Amino acid sequence: MARASNATAALRRLTLLGVAAALCGCDAQGWLRGSADDPAPATGSQRGPARRLNPVELTRALEAAFPGVELPPVDLPPDPVPARFDNAIEAAQPSGLFFAAHRRLALRASAAVVEQARPCVDERDGPAADACARAFIAGAAEQLFRRPLTAQQRAAYLAPLDAYRDEAPSERLRLTLELVLLAPELLYRAPRADAEGALDAFALATRLSFFLWESPPDAALRAAAAGGALAEPEGLARHVERMLDDPRAEATFVRFMSQWLDVGALDRTSSLSDDLRASLHAASRAFLVHGLWRADANLGALFTTDRAWLDDRLADRIGVRRPDAPLQEVRLDPDRRGGWLTRPTFLTTHALPDKPSPVQRGVFVFDRLLCRPFPPPPPEAMSGAVVPDGARVNTNRDYYEVTTNRGPCAACHEGINGAGYAFENYDQFGRWRDADRGHPVDASAAIGDANFAGAAALSRWLATSPAVRDCLARHWLEFAAGDGSMAADDGLRVAVADALADQPLRRIPFVIATHSRFARLASPPEGAP
Amino acid sequence: MTALRRRTLLQAAGLGATSWFLPSARRGRASPGASAPPRRVVFIGCELGWNPFELRMAPPGAPPEWLMASGYHPAYRDRADPRTWELDLRSAPRDAFSSTLAPLFELRDRALVLDGLSLASVAIDRYGDGHAKGQLHALTGHPAALGKSGSRSVAGAPSADQRIAAALRAQEPALTDLVSLELSLSRRLQYAAPYHARIYRETDQGLIAPVPAEARPERLYERLFSGGTAAGETPARRDLLSRLGDRYAAFSRDLSADDRAKLDLHRQLIRDAEVRLAELERARCQAPPPPEPTWPGGFDDGPRFPLEHFRQRKDAHFDLLTAALACGLTRVATIQIANDEHELLLGTTDDAFHEWYSHGTDAPWRWYGAPGANVSETEHGKFVEAAPGLAAKNRRQVEYAVDLARRLDEVPEGEGTLLDHTLIVLFEDISHGGHGHDQWPVVLLGGFGGAVRPGRYVRLPRTLQNPGLNGLGDFIGVPHSHLLVAILQGMGLDLDHLGVSEIPATSDRAAISLSGPLSALG
């Protein structure tokens, strides 16, 4: 009787943990049992590239596994970001600093779980305590590893429970959990696929969940994977719809768009006060959440909407009427303030401390929005712009024209500045100006044969540009895959670009996730059925 | 004041006893004698350039034109300058030191200033802006492998510190990844700059990957003295690492070769941690007390920190580095310094500092009115106003190097001190405000186990035809690659060049050799 009550208490504590829920919910589907032996890799089966979870993904994995536990922050050294997105496969290389930080995290997180959730604490030593500990570790491992354990994994990850008999039960449990938290199966995603390149159900569930939520699969998705539901288009679509309705999809959208639009430049711009930086972050987030995601807005709205979210500080900074609330939606003059490119975040982060930079603004348009990056400047271009003797420099535009229109600079700057001059009506703070140092502003600009009078006109052109749709499709697919493999699939990229022409942005993840290529390791060879 | 003060450290580390080193600290190949302590090297990389006019020193009574050739005077734009000179700093009076180098006076018999080097290998690099190239070439001597979005680039070869670390580990299996330390004195700077990196290692699959630097002293302490964690290490936790290594082996079995290499590196790091724990168990070099700032919340509270934060961070890093070098855990370190302190002192921001104090001090702008100078009055005025700020920054950086040297000099080792067996190398990413790479000064401190002859200021000739370095005329100084070769040879590496071996000849210019050590060092 005492044993039964202890077991009940232990189970009650375990249910504090997502792992216990996973354990109980999935046992019927065979999650806990694992295979009798580690299967040899099937002939011709494949593993995808090993991608390390980034700090956001790791945080969410731990939070999902141990809800209710106050976990230590995932404080890992930043990876260099060679690509646009922080989930890029090439970004995450191991280093001594990383391993030390990961080990510190595992130690502290395992201690937090054992101390706060107190799993199996009511079990006395003996078979029931052993069973409880083993069930706890196995449940945690299966959830964190995102697929059922093989027999070999089970043996390896439960072994410390037997090996460290000299330790107190709670310490034994903590050490064993520490091993799970350090495991490669948690830290790395390396999807399994069959000989034809089709992902197995758990790999597909994992890819889907990290793409839509930057989190591991939840219990429903794991159950769908185990039950085969994801193999059917309808079943897959149902789960994608369900996941897109979840707040985590919105959070992922914001992180994707923020990286594409380089909102992170705010943190690299040292001329901002902390308060102002925080205001700009909040306004940017509100723009993406309320202006795009929750508004069911399409790509055009990104460039043309008159909706903005400002606080007093930002309103003062760009010279518009102060809002009544700390952060409030306001409507701006669409002829002056149409879309993202006329908002203070973009304009501030693409400026020098003392003047706006048509070069930085133009490079952004070509690089981020049109996917047409310019080559790096030649060495002789980097010594600082020199104004030639006798040159007439009245305005910022004059300065850039006379310092970049000569020698090796001219070839690229004709294009870069051609777009960047469209923003000359905005100073380095994003404030509108009709005159620059007492002279009229000239914001006439051009990209190829298209001419614009100012940023609003340029933005309207971008809003309907097929090149922008193709470019955003590339970026979204890079974000989905962690590399360029999906973006290189013409069929998928065209499907996404087409959808961007007439569907809301929040629909695009559905288009990607339900495309046949999404469930494959690589594109089928040309001519394959 | 940090909690970890030198005296505490020295007591804790057993100063005065003969047992300074962990068992792993075997004698380095480069050591002059079988019983001599191993050599160490510490690179200190700064950014945004020098004000050459406040740095350069010439013999007493030298005509002003001696300073002009290397001061970017228009008269020397198309002329070689073969003049060299060597000043004996040991006998130089205090007022003979330039304002930037004045902090060296205190350690003048241990200082060696090289005036007139060039980052010549930059000339054959297509990628990155002036900062990216300088940061990348300073320690690699090799062009970038690729560029990233204009100003960025990624190295094409590992940096000197990582080459040294890899070679030492190959020679001495007991050494771990702590054989090299990468530190940042700037909270926000884990690479050389948001887009640039200075430290690169070569992975097993031949990938050149940037190495992050540790900015938090408390984390550095944990890595050095607690096996990577703050908690006590038990035999069970060592066993756990062994099990983890096995899991990595099993997990990577059916991965691609590239992925296996990546996972193998991870596994190696696990193995390193295991070895460190084993070494710590046998260590006779006691861990010092952990560093603590005088405010609550650790070294990282607040997005921007007041001046005192920077200084306490520096003190703690320098103390821990001294301990790591003294205990034989570390043989090579790279310290990155951004401009936090200078920004705070000058009341400016990083971006503004760059724009005003660096771009504003394009050295040729000093020569307004000189025949042939293409300098406007505005440019000259900007130079006059900004140059003192850049010089003040330079002087503080020299003070940092002296500060570290002093700490090393307080640690007895062999017949002398730790500084006698160490070489501190202070450098910038660019030469001057014009963001060029010729006339690139380097300040050295330490005896390097007899491999350098300190106590000198050495002016090098400027006679090599310019292979394409930015905007400073037809001739350049001695390639810094020779300095890197000398340092690596001093650390026991058997090599003749680092990065590229020469800049190929063209129809109107001879080839420039980047091979062989710098003779001016010894």
Each residue of B127-170: pLDDT tens digit? 777 888 888 899 999 988 765 545 566 788 899 999 999 999 99
Flag the least confident range among A31-45, B345-359, B411-425: A31-45
Position B306 pLDDT exceeds 80: no
Among B182, B197, B256, whose Cβ lies nearest the Cβ of A80?
Answer: B197
Q: Mind listing the pLDDT tens digit for each residue in A477-491?
A: 999 999 889 999 999
Among A103, A156, A353, whose Cβ lies nearest the Cβ of B243?
Answer: A156
Mean pLDDT calculated for residue range A339-355: 91
SS3 letters for A326-344? Answer: CCEEEECCCCCCCCHHHCH
Q: Residues for chain A: how many in total?
A: 529
Separation of alpha carbons B96 and A125, rounded Å: 78
Separation of alpha carbons B342 and A519, rounded Å: 53
Query: How far are the Cα atoms of A248, A299, B140 from residue A240, in angstroms, in the given order?
Result: 12, 21, 48
Q: Between these two residues, B353 and A303, which has the higher pLDDT value?
A: A303
Query: How distant is the Cα of B505 from the closest Cα of chain A, in angstroms?
Result: 19
B187 pLDDT tier (thresholds 50, 70, 90): low
Q: Mind listing the pLDDT tens digit for each residue in A162-219?
A: 999 888 889 999 999 999 999 999 999 999 999 889 999 999 999 999 999 999 999 9
Query: What is the per-residue pLDDT for A291?
Result: 97
Among B236, B350, B362, whose Cβ lies nearest the Cβ of A167?
Answer: B236
A353 contacts B210? CB cut-off 8 A: no
Q: Cβ contacts (< 8 Å) between B148 and chain A: which residues?
A: 82
B262 contacts A50? CB cut-off 8 A: yes
Phi, psi of B400, deg, nearest 5: -60, -45
Position A47 pLDDT exceeds 70: yes
Nearest residue to A378 via CA among A413, A339, A345: A413
B194 contacts A268? CB cut-off 8 A: yes
Virtual torsion, Cα A41, A43, A47, A48, nearest 10 deg: -170
Window A:312-371, CB contacts with B under 8 Å: 352-354, 363, 367
Q: Between these two residues, B234 and B361, which has the higher pLDDT value?
A: B361
Separation of alpha carbons A62 and B247, rounded Å: 20
What's the one-letter identity of residue A320? V
A43 touches chain B (CB under 8 A): no
A387 touches chain B (CB under 8 A): yes
CB A194, CB B257: distance < 8 Å:
no
Region label for B225, one of left (φ > 0), alpha (ψ between -120 and 50) or beta (otherwise): alpha
Position B307 pLDDT exceeds 80: no
Query: What is the per-residue pLDDT for A371?
Result: 94
Query: What is the per-residue pLDDT for A127?
Result: 83
B236 contacts A164? CB cut-off 8 A: yes
Mean pLDDT calculated for residue range B60-88: 85
CB burial of residue A340 (10 Å; 0-12, 13-18, 19+):
buried
Residues linked to residue B425 through DSSP beta bridges, in sequence order: B43, B444
Q: Between these two residues, A475 and B215, which has the higher pLDDT value?
A: A475
A179 contacts B251? CB cut-off 8 A: no
Query: What is the per-residue pLDDT for A462?
Result: 97
Query: What is the per-residue pLDDT for B202?
Result: 85
Element (H, E) at B482: helix B481-490
A182 contacts B229? CB cut-off 8 A: no
B482-486 long-range contacts (CB < 8 A, ≥24 apart) are: B482/B514, B482/B516, B482/B517, B482/B518, B482/B519, B483/B114, B483/B117, B483/B442, B483/B518, B483/B521, B484/B139, B484/B141, B484/B160, B485/B515, B485/B516, B485/B517, B485/B518, B486/B451, B486/B517, B486/B518, B486/B521, B486/B522
Separation of alpha carbons B480 and B160, rounded Å: 12
Among A175, A354, A367, whose Cβ lies nearest the Cβ of B240?
Answer: A175
Q: Which residue has the tokens 């087409």?
A: A498
Taking every pair of C-alpha atoms in chain B, what is the biggest distance, in angstroms?
Answer: 76
Mean pLDDT calculated for residue range A269-283: 86
Q: How many CB atoms lie within 10 A of CB B435?
A: 25
A374 touches chain B (CB under 8 A): yes
Query: What is the per-residue pLDDT for B17?
Result: 29
Mean pLDDT calculated for residue range A337-358: 92
Among A79, A352, A383, whose Cβ lies nearest the Cβ of B436?
Answer: A383
Q: Residues for chain B: how many in total?
A: 522
- H-assigned helices in B22-129: 65-68
CB burial of residue A335 (10 Å; 0-12, 13-18, 19+):
exposed
A373 contacts B127? CB cut-off 8 A: no
Query: How far are the Cα atoms of A194, A230, B371 from residue B387, in angstroms, in the given order?
Result: 65, 66, 22
Separation of alpha carbons B141 and A73, rounded Å: 39
Residues linked to residue B85 through DSSP beta bridges, in sequence order: B459
Flag the least confident range among A152-156, B7-11, B391-395: B7-11
* Average pLDDT of chain A to the nearest whole number: 87
Position B460 pLDDT exceeds 80: yes
B477: Cβ contacts below 8 Å, ≥ 6 apart: B70, B116, B117, B118, B438, B439, B440, B460, B461, B462, B464
* Average pLDDT of chain B to the nearest whole number: 82
CB burial of residue A88 (10 Å; 0-12, 13-18, 19+):
buried
Query: What is the per-residue pLDDT for B264?
Result: 87
CB B190, CB B213: distance < 8 Å:
yes
Q: HSE, CB side, 13 Å, CA atoms: give it for residue B132.
A: 28
CB B318, CB B403: distance < 8 Å:
yes
Q: Mind listing the pLDDT tens digit for each residue in A391-423?
A: 888 999 999 998 888 777 888 898 999 999 999
| % residues pLDDT > 70 (chain A) | 86
Separation of alpha carbons A435 and A232, rounded Å: 61
Intra-chain end-to-end CA distance of chain B, in Å: 38
A439 pLDDT tier (thresholds 50, 70, 90): very high
Q: Mind listing the pLDDT tens digit for each residue in B385-433?
A: 888 988 999 999 999 999 999 999 999 898 899 999 999 999 999 988 8
Residue of B nearest to A171 (CA): B236
Residue of B nearest to A94 (CA): B266
Flag the least confident range among A61-70, A327-336, A384-393, B432-441: A384-393
| % residues pLDDT > 90 (chain A) | 66
B206 pLDDT tier (thresholds 50, 70, 90): confident
Q: Cβ contacts (< 8 Å) between A79 and chain B: which residues?
A: 212
Q: Mind listing the pLDDT tens digit for each residue in B309-347?
A: 788 889 999 999 999 999 888 999 999 887 766 666 666
Position B31 pLDDT exceeds 50: no
Query: What is the per-residue pLDDT for B191?
Result: 58
What's the one-letter identity of residue B248? Y
What's the one-letter identity of residue B52? P
Q: Cβ contacts (< 8 Å) between A373 and chain B: which residues?
A: 149-150
Position A223 pLDDT exceeds 90: yes
Q: Mind listing the pLDDT tens digit for each residue in A287-333?
A: 999 999 999 999 999 999 999 999 999 998 888 888 877 899 999 99
Q: Between these two residues, A286 and A411, which has the higher pLDDT value?
A: A286
B4 pLDDT tier (thresholds 50, 70, 90): very low
Query: What is the per-residue pLDDT for A48?
Result: 87
Q: Cβ contacts (< 8 Å) between B162 and chain A: which residues?
A: none
Nearest residue to A422 via CA among A459, A368, A394: A459
Could you please report the per-residue DSSP string of A140-208? HHHHHHTSPPPHHHHHHHHHHHHHTTTS-HHHHHHHHHHHHHH-HHHHEE--EE-TTSBBPHHHHHHHH
A100 touches chain B (CB under 8 A): yes
Query: How distant is the Cα of B423 from the closest Cα of chain A, in angstroms?
Result: 24
Separation of alpha carbons A138 and A461, rounded Å: 56
B349 contacts A373? CB cut-off 8 A: no
Q: How many CB pairs under 8 A join A and B?
A: 194
Beta strands in B19-93 (DSSP E): 40-45, 85-88
Mean pLDDT calculated for residue range B268-277: 82
Q: Beta strand B200-202 with B208-210: parallel, antiparallel or unpaired?
A: antiparallel
- Token pair, residue B201, equals 């290692």
Q: Mind listing the pLDDT tens digit for each residue in B109-124?
A: 999 999 999 999 998 8
Q: Cβ contacts (< 8 Å) between A82 and chain B: which residues?
A: 148, 154
Position B486 pLDDT exceeds 90: yes
Among B125, B248, B362, whose Cβ lies nearest the Cβ of A383?
Answer: B362
B119: Cβ contacts below 8 Å, ≥ 6 apart: B133, B134, B137, B138, B431, B437, B438, B440, B469, B479, B480
Q: Mind listing the pLDDT tens digit for each residue in A76-94?
A: 877 765 567 888 876 667 7
Query: How far are the Cα atoms of B168, B331, B482 from residue B141, in angstroms, in the given order?
Result: 20, 21, 9
Flag the least confident range among B198-212, B316-330, B449-463: B198-212
CB A119, CB A173: distance < 8 Å:
yes
Residue of A nearest to B379 (CA): A386
Separation of alpha carbons A149 and A132, rounded Å: 17
Please, what is the Cα angle at A407 between A406 and A408, to 5 degrees?
Answer: 120
A269 touches chain B (CB under 8 A): yes
